[in-house]
Each structure stands twice: as C-alpha cells, then as structure tokens.
C-alpha cells in the first residue's frame, strides 16, 4: 500500500533548491525500528524542544524511528551483539524529512536566535555550523540509512536531562546533558571538536565507551561521521533517494 502526500519545496535564496525527493511512504520499504528491535529506546529529540534549535522541528509528529528495511535489519544485528555486552540502543533520530532539514537551514540564517548556544555550540559561531558540516543541507538522514544513537545499560531507563559542567583537556568547558545513557563525555548534537571520534579532548574512559558503539556499528556496515560520535550511515549504493514524508504512524 502506498501513501501519497503533496509537498512543495520553498525556493528561498538561503536554501538549496533540492528537488529530487519522494513524498511516498511505502510500507514494503520502510519499517519502525522498534518492530525489529522491541527493546530499543526511541526518543526523537527533534519531536521535543530539547535540541539545538530549542523548538519542535517541522515534520516530526510521532515518536517513531523509521529506517529502510534493509538498514534496520543490519541495525538489529548490531542491537543483538550489543545486548550480549549488556547494552540497549537509544535512538535520537533516524529518517529525517526534507522539510526538517529546511527548518535547520532557516534556523541557521536567524543569527539572533541563540537560545541553545550554551548547550549545543558554545565554542563555535552559529553561522559556521553548516560550513563545519555538523549539519548538511543535503542530509543523508533523508535517505533512510542514517541514524543518531547511543547506548544505555540493560536495566536502566532514560531520565530527565541534568546539565553537568565538563572540562575538556584543552581547559574549555562544555555542558554534558546527562539523560542516563552511557557517558560519552559530550552529548548528542554537541557541535565541537570534542564530539569528533578519536579526538584527544576527552578522557580515555569516554573514548572506550564510544568505541563500544562504533565497533558494533562498523561490524555491520555502518560508518561513523568524522564529526559526530553518535551519527552513523549504512554504506550502500542503493540509498540515493531523498524523502519528505512526515514522521507519523502509517
């Protein structure tokens, strides 16, 4: 069964005019991650106001993490392996509609909006976030093969965020948003060098925690971002099509 939606890309001078996208949700191609991995915790941060924009993002209407079926099947293998090590996966984002990416672009151009700077980008200028590739105008998330995730010990659950001051090895301070997940020293969507895999700004125990996730993902064909320890893309030549259907129950 196919679900069809009308959609229009707004052609603004400050946005890429990306036209090659589908607005069709095909149940044969997409799956809710929790249908394959029932013990996965899904907490889409862009469905809430706790994200780098500080507002709910366009296109997010339900706490459902979608991936292409073939990608979700590989993620299930990751989750099975991590479960044996004592962890469950926590998904902050997976498929992301094009309209959400365009929302990010508009936010980036509003240089008067800094409500979440202290938590998410304290040491870089807002207008450089796209330049530094922390966010992409042509995001792999729109293709259904990319997700943002972390780990939580089995038996633990997410808790309301507590802001914890952290000092990096270069002497600068960041805010760690502790939600009871495995401590990676920087939080999801912290834009800065300390979030780069393999950086030397964090202690060795945090590097070890990050490697648990990265190694499990890489075994099943996922590649970590150079700038974000939580961001993984399944490597496949088949994942070329962009999409823009809303995140909701189908």
Q: Which CATH number belongs to the domain containing residue 144 in this structure?
A: 3.30.1380.10
**Stretch 231-248: mean pLDDT, rounded?**
97
Domain-located, residue 198: yes
**pLDDT tens digits, residue range 56-105?**
999 999 999 999 999 999 999 999 999 999 999 999 999 999 999 999 99
Number of domains in the chain: 1
Task: Give the C-alpha separation, 80 to 87, whole Å.
Answer: 9
Domain-located, residue 5: no
pLDDT tops 70 at residue 151: yes
- What is the pLDDT confidence band of residue 9, given thresholds at 50, 70 and 90? very low
**Stretch 183-189: mean pLDDT, rounded?**
98
**pLDDT tens digits, residue range 165-175?**
999 999 999 99
pLDDT tops 90 at residue 11: no
pLDDT tops 80 at residue 18: no
pLDDT for 15 equals 45
pLDDT tops 50 at residue 190: yes
Domain-located, residue 9: no
Domain-located, residue 15: no
pLDDT for 198 equals 87
**Stretch 221-247: mean pLDDT, rounded?**
97
User: Domain range holding 224?
Assistant: 32-236
Domain-located, residue 246: no
Whether the pTM exceeds 0.75: the reply is: yes
């Amino acid at each position: 069964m196919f679900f069809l939606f009308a959609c229009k890309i707004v052609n603004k001078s400050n946005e890429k005019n990306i036209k090659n996208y589908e607005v069709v949700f095909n149940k044969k191609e997409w799956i809710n991650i929790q249908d394959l991995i029932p013990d996965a915790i899904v907490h889409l941060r862009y469905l809430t106001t706790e994200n780098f924009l500080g507002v709910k993002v366009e296109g997010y209407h339900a706490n459902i993490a979608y991936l292409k079926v073939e990608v979700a099947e590989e993620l299930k293998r990751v989750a099975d392996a991590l479960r044996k090590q004592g962890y469950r996966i926590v998904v902050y984002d997976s498929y992301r509609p094009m309209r959400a990416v365009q929302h990010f672009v508009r936010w980036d151009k509003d240089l008067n909006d800094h409500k979440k700077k202290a938590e998410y980008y304290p040491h870089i200028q807002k207008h450089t976030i796209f330049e530094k590739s922390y966010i992409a105008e042509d995001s792999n998330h729109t293709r259904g093969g990319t997700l943002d995730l972390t780990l939580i010990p089995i038996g633990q659950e997410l808790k309301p965020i507590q802001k914890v001051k952290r000092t990096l090895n270069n002497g600068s301070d960041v805010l760690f948003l502790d939600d009871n997940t495995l401590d990676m020293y920087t939080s999801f969507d912290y834009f800065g060098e300390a979030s780069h895999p393999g950086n030397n700004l964090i202690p060795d125990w945090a590097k070890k925690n990050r490697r648990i996730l990265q190694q499990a993902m890489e075994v099943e064909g996922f590649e970590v971002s150079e700038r974000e320890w939580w961001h993984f893309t399944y490597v496949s030549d088949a994942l070329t099509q962009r999409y823009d259907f809303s995140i909701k129950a189908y």
